Structure 1
């Protein structure tokens, strides 16, 4: 526990940075590519999607990330166009808590239900990215954040597969619980 709390505290200052002009980092593509890595909320949720997919197995391994990315692109277009989408920030924070809890409790919802929930989360994340898109370069920025998201999903999938190969479900469940707690921390910090 002594090591976990400082790790969570390190994440807290980045919570406010996720959608408030992290700013340009080189080209628009580079800005989009870096954006998901610089906000703890995006980073945790996107890795959790891949991790949850690995823990669920089967078609979820591709369907969960595909649902997130597809909806994220649609949300990005909405944000880019300035459309109003309610409760984006709470949905983004809920994505971390819900995905972490799903891993922690080893939930195995029906594929269609899980994909719909994950798509709602992806829509919110994409919308937040899309709001910054026009100021950071539009399409190249979007391509960067889509590539970054797919990379984070792949990292989560790899971590989940590695955790599963240990044949110690407590490891995966603990990581899920810590993810959910980090989401709660970000919500209250």
Structure 2
């Protein structure tokens, strides 16, 4: 249940991420008119995917998100935040549709890309990490969630403080993972 609540919260965060400025080197060459038209097409696909997902239409969301991801990769490159938004937007309805393997690969891709291009202290990296942890928890995969939650807890305590909502959430997750004592999570 917490995963779905977080996913809804993420939807709003994802919408905000659309307006971040990417590094100029990540963009395809700018061609007036063509580039603007194609970026508008990408934005329309993103909006359609997010709307369909929010309304519970996973198949329609998957179709629009796949198109948005392909267009994002072509226009902006694989590590651009806009492309990563599209990858995340595809992962969520795939998970809802029970296509867990592909959803996991996309969530991992988003996290790995943000980590590689922005570092572990970046809020987008941290959100992507939380999404991956939530995915594993929802799939009842404590073996996969445990090391990520420990890493997240250490990172969040360092970057946002031990009293932050993110740090406290990871501490709670670590305390609830079967077979893991909190003291073992602190090592």
TM-score by length of 2: 0.28
User: Which structure exhibits the higher relative contact order, with contacts defined as CA atoms closer than 8 Å and separated by 6 or more residues?
Assistant: 1
Larger radius of gyration: 2
TM normalised by structure 1 equals: 0.28
